[in-house]
């Protein structure tokens, strides 16, 4: 495949170009949203703005917001990342999957890892939610908490599932689209280029920090940063974007499923999925130990050479690959 940019382009320039392609993708996404609002929902531009500003008071507010969120995230993130790979002359599989998937059970294993780690993550969520900024940042803290409260209110509105159909739409928009779009951007492009620019560990940690910071949820930065580390190392070890996509999907989809079942009264023991309270230590401690063991097991499996004639190396693309010894 022939692109119009050299493959040797500096990693920093590739990240900057990604941002440019994402802006272009967002413009396409907004055009689709406006057209869909008019043709699919029968709304004028002022009507669409009114429905999106006050969705709870508009009969089409939920559907319009879900559509807009899914289209914009996919067009900006997935569209931007795929456009960059094409501009550099790579096939999409070649750029994002330098290694073939080692085994199908890897996808199941990373999904199990994400579920096992949730009790431990709840302790980080609880701690970070109660964190306070230094006194000289008091005004910023007040603004940040107010902003996150508004965002949480919108999230609660979008995750009120009155039907199976709404739940399936939420799985598509909140689980599938972010798993694809965000992984292509943060692991497939940003982490890959940071690894090339600096080193594997620096690339993964910087990528995780950017992944967490870009969500602008300051009182959830730490747990999202840890999730970014897990996803980053899974991609580094496996060399296949499907692995981190599978883990990201399970992270979002499992929580949606628990929320849906709770709303239907399936969890009568009082579980509150919207709570920031930590789970009991007797769940969090085994969760941390089992998660560490699973991560080590996956590291050994994903980086082990299958035959004596092959060895693991780090490619220029920032992922583990296999090459034959001379």
In the chain, where are the structural domains located?
1-96, 110-324
Q: What is the mean pLDDT of residues 237-252?
A: 97
Instruction: For residue 314, give the nearest of 237, 230, 225 by alpha carbon.
Output: 237
- Is the per-residue pLDDT at 310 higher than 50? no
Pair 223, 124: CB distance under 8 Å = yes
Measured between alpha carbons, how far is 145 from 217 in angstroms, rounded to an integer?
A: 9
Which range scores top for mean pLDDT: 42-56, 228-242, 309-323?
228-242
Check residue 80 and give its pLDDT: 98
Phi-psi region of 90 (alpha: psi -120 to 50; beta: other; left: phi over 0): beta
Question: How large is the average pLDDT for residues 272-276?
Answer: 66
Q: What is the pTM of this model?
A: 0.91
**Average pLDDT of the chain to the nearest whole number:** 90
Higher pLDDT, 293 or 98: 293
pLDDT, one tens digit per residue, over 148-181 is: 888 888 888 999 998 999 999 999 999 999 999 9
Q: CB within 8 A of 217, min separation 6: which ones?
A: 148, 151, 224
Q: From start to end of the chain, where are the E strands?
A: 310-314, 320-324
């Amino acid at each position: 495949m022939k692109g119009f940019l050299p493959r040797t382009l500096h990693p920093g320039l590739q990240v900057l170009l990604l941002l440019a392609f994402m802006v272009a993708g967002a413009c396409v996404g907004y055009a689709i949203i406006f057209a869909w609002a008019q043709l699919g929902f029968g709304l004028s531009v002022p009507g669409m703005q009114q429905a999106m500003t006050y969705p709870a008071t508009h009969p089409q507010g939920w559907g319009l917001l879900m559509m807009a969120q899914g289209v914009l995230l996919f067009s900006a993130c997935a569209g931007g990342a795929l456009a960059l790979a094409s501009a550099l002359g790579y096939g999409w599989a070649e750029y994002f999957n330098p290694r073939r998937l080692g085994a199908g059970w890897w996808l199941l294993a990373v999904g199990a890892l994400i579920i096992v780690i949730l009790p431990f993550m709840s302790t980080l969520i609880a701690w970070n939610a109660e964190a306070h900024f230094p006194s000289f940042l008091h005004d910023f803290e007040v603004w940040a908490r107010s902003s996150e409260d508004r965002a949480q209110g919108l999230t609660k509105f979008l995750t009120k599932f009155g039907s199976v159909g709404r739940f399936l739409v939420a799985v598509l928009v909140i689980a599938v689209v972010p798993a694809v779009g965000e992984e292509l951007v943060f692991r497939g492009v940003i982490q890959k280029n940071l690894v090339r620019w600096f080193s594997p560990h620096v690339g993964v940690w910087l990528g995780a920090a950017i992944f967490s910071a870009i969500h602008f949820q300051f009182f959830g930065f730490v747990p999202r940063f840890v999730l970014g580390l897990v996803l980053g190392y899974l991609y580094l070890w496996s060399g296949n974007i499907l692995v981190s996509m599978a883990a990201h999907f399970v992270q979002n989809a499992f929580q949606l499923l628990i929320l849906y079942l709770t709303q239907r009264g399936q969890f009568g023991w009082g579980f509150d999925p919207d709570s920031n309270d930590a789970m009991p230590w007797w769940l969090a401690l085994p969760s941390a130990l089992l998660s560490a063991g699973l991560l080590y097991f996956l590291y050994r499996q994903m980086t082990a050479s299958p035959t004596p004639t092959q060895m693991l190396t780090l490619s220029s693309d920032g992922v583990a690959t296999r090459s034959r010894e001379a």
